[in-house]
Amino acid sequence: MSGVYRIFGMELSPYSVKVRSYFRYKQIPHEWVVRDMGKMAEFQKYAKLPLVPLVVTPEGEGVQDSTPIIERFEKQFPEPSILPPDPTDAFISALIEEYADEWGNKPMFHFRWTYEPDRKAGSERIAAASMPGLTGAALENGAKAVRDRMVPRLRFVGSREETREQIEQSLYQTCAILEKHLSGRNYLFGGRPALADFGLYAQLYECSIDPTPGGWMKKNAPNTLAWIARMLDPKNEGGWESWDRLEPTLAPLLRAEVGEIFLPWSNANALAIAAGQPEMRVNLLGKPFSQEPQKYHAKSLAVIREKYAVVPDKSRLDPILDRAGCLQWLRKS
């Protein structure tokens, strides 16, 4: 399969389906390879980290981490672009993608491994995909091993009884905002997907296929579900909309989720890492939120701050970010 890229991933990995959606949109020749036990040796040959997705180029190079993967191939395959031509819109898209990757993962992981129906469904699907051919008691034993490994990891996203409401309300609020924004438009920034679409869709897709959040979305988020379905194989269906048209319904996501929740949390995490603290603490919407700090999140915040710093003309961007409560967090060094 000369000239074909190979994407090693899992259907229950949001970052895997994010990259797959991007490759489909770009029509980059690729093969979707489920990383099961039979493919593990080949995966390890190219992977520097034990994480999916992994893209293996036709030349035999392994590339990992979903955002750097997309940024790399966007340079190699620039059309159709996922970057709005206006630098203000392009940065807002990147900021929403950052929010999706780093905070949007919390509701997804929380629902999947907190509620028993979701634990059962998720663990069985992962076991079946990882170890093809398992049935009966062997499949159940494999699923139990997955649950035993994943449920304790809820602490890594800060999920516990005290934070349950904050995390779950974040999903409900995001979908409520998207229901209005996606009424009458196919993608977040108009008639074609932007970087933000790939990041946000991936987390919400995973929610949509799990029993508890998926059941809620079927009742309350039809526009969001239709967008998720489009993002499984997105198409260039039109042009970009101006921020003036987008702002009435997209700015609420910046304000309510990015400015009031994600960036304060991300900043507190970075400060805890810098201070060598074993726990990060922050008030989100007047309620305490704490978790073990994560180094990757601190690095990711530094990257989005650098992207903000290099925006050439911030005369339009800064007032938008300021109104959304984002600016103070992005200016910090």
Residues near 310 by Cβ (< 8 Å), separated by ≥ 6?
none
Closest by CA position to 80, among listed 240, 242, 236, 238:
236
Q: What's the DSSP call for residue 33?
A: E
What one-letter code names the amino acid at 148?
Answer: D
Q: How far is the C-alpha of 101 from the C-alpha of 198, rounded, in Å?
A: 10
pLDDT at residue 320 in the model: 98
Closest by CA position to 37, among listed 134, 119, 118, 112:
134
Residue owning tokens 């239709």: 226
Work out the pLDDT band at 2, boundaries 50, 70, 90: low
Q: What's the DSSP call for residue 208?
A: H
| Per-residue pLDDT tens over the stretch 25-44 | 999 999 999 999 999 999 99
pLDDT at residue 1 in the model: 41
Is 229:193 a contact under the CB 8 Å cutoff? no
List, in sequence order, the alpha helices (H) in 182-262. 195-208, 211-220, 222-231, 243-253
| Per-residue pLDDT tens over the stretch 287-305 | 999 999 999 999 999 999 9
% pLDDT > 70, the chain: 99
Average pLDDT for residues 152-178, to the nearest whole number?
97
> What domains sit in the chain, N to C, each tagged with a CATH number?
5-76 (3.40.30.10), 87-108+159-330 (no CATH)
Q: How far is the C-alpha of 20 from the C-alpha of 24, rounded, in Å?
A: 6
Is 172:216 a contact under the CB 8 Å cutoff? yes
Question: Is the overall model pTM greater than 0.95, yes or no?
Answer: yes
